[in-house]
Structure 1
Amino acid sequence: MNKLLSTSSICLLLGMLLVSCIASAAADGNSTGYPKTITDGADRTVTITEPIERVVVLNSDIAEALKILGVEDKIIAVTDSVKNRASYFPDLTKKQVIGKWTEPDYEMIGEIAKGSSDEVMPDIIVIGYAYVDKPYGAPGVEKSLAPFKNILNAGFDIHKPDNFEKDMRTLGAIFNKEAEAEEYIKWYNEKNDAVKNAVKDLNLPKVYIESSSTSPKLGELGTYGKGSGLTQQIRIANGLNVARDLELEWPKVDWEWVIKQNPEVIILTKYATAEKLGWDEGPSKDTIDLEKIIAEVQARAGASSVPAIKNNRVYVFDAYKIFGTDGVVGLTYLAKIIHPEADLDPKAVEKEYFKKIGIEYPDTAITMYPALEEN
């Protein structure tokens, strides 16, 4: 009888403990049930059978998102695009590098996944871009990982504003960090809405965006076309990307075509030095170099007839701030560039963002050049 009571009591206690754990998970907004199924950005179904403890990150946009979710410590390997951004990811610079973000070394990923075991434990996932038409997109990665058992992979084009909320929410679900994802999405949307409200009644200037290079070929200038993240950003900022209808995401155009588009604003995207956040404010070597980039555009044949050049509305912008989880920082800057009269404070949003990821943004760092006059 005592043995029966003891067994019953134990079962009751175990049941109460299980209910308590489930209630605790529900209370903090995070789900912990397995198996769980998610749909990634390439519309692929991914089934997760146990908690993810190891992550291979194929690009810096995903690394940034995982940092916000608080799972940066689960990252065991990265590509060059993460390794080279020590200013953003100081804790990831010593992780194993598994190649370029466009050409990961899948054999190395397989070896890392096995570790000292003979087979891969299913607690690992490889996360990169979704692109269905690129070899480094999710379907291409899946094909390359096929020889290795138990390595999950998912892809997200989180750098595109139209995808951001869904992708961030799905990443939260993968790591049982739904509450953290929702908290960030709320902040992101607040800043996004602030931009929309600030520019909604303003005019719609024509904007040309050029991917800056040290020796630009005027017959092959890189810009951003249909479906690109920057085309989406410019639309939200109430601007009209002159290349928005070009079929490719990253088309090439010639300078004569640009002149014909008659842009009122020209934005030259350039990645700041990876070792630091932004550029050094002037006078500095950075601002001298940025001035040279603008001067090259101003000196092009026929440039004097372009409204953006006539009115000194040519800017260089740090491309690191345009896409991904800090895309709302880039959006606020872009909206201010396109609409200087808008009641927006990009610098404040930028500092707030970096505080969220545990980095103090230097007061002497700049994200665009030249600076805009304050309202």
Structure 2
Amino acid sequence: MKQNRKNLYSFCFVFNLERRNISMTLLKIKKTLQPLIVEGKIIFGFGQDGIERSIEKSELNIDILKVLNGEKEREHLTISTEEFNNKVEALKDLGLLTINDYDKQYKYSRNINFFEWMDISNNTDPSIYQRKLNKAHVLIVGLGGIGANVCEILARLGIQTFTIIDNDRIDETNLTRQGTYFKEDIGKNKVDRVEKYIKKIDSKINVNKINKYLATKNDLQEIFKKYNFDISICCADTPKHEIDVWFDDLSIEFNKPFISGSYASTVINTFCMNPNLTITSSELYGEQGAPREQLLENITFSTSVIAPVTYMAAGLISYQAFSVITQLNYKPEAIQIDLFNWNVYKYDLKKK
């Protein structure tokens, strides 16, 4: 009986349901935040701006943390149940408690640990963000250096439903920077090979494949009408400039967030247009761009890129998609990374 009581006090705390409307939960200190004693305070998430929180260093606080970590029995504390509950509630309000079971064998365990680290709200269940990802439907247009890699990253993140669009076939040059393709895929349709690749990651993934070039806004509009996706990602570079404008207009019309990503040799750009919240990509580039007069005739820009750049761009875009879907640390900003000078630029996208 005593051992059972110890287990109960170590891991389970019953709150006053009528007063706080909080159900019985297995609350514990977030392991990801690793509390440390620094200069007279107990610091959680030490050294990470925006994540770091602190409480007073006191014997009582240390004892409560030990109880919540299963190192000490609740019955050994001399405070009242009400005082104990108030202390635990304060820790919960700081976003320091969790019901994460840290099951290392669970497929998404590392994801969930990451969400726990990121979440500074009073939510105690980090798995809710994984469920949001699993339920999300993402449209990706363009399966080249960025789009193909975005598909892989989002599949590993837990996205279960994709609509992918591209009319291109794989050639040998794609193998240097597009991670979903292999030598034996040369000559085959990109949509088919991407589907096969991400289904190897998770056989439960659903893929709507469209082997088509989007030549007009009406072509894209039909996609918006037919597929009930949650967010769209434009990784296509043609029709040049026009396609981003189409996405702007249709994202507003259908009230769906749209992410645009690109690279130009050593520069990576990513932008999320969120209807009713941000300016459009056209407005952004109109503000930041400058008129240019071409010097030489009959010259076109030749793609100059290496795999590290395409993977960084895809990672940045995928991270932005993650933040929009989960709303964890979502910021209405455009990001530009200049790899040549190792500079990062941010642009506020909020409507004025």
TM-score higher than 0.5? no
Q: Provide TM-score, normalisation by structure 2.
A: 0.29
**RCO higher in 1 or 2 (8 Å CA, sep ≥ 6)?**
1
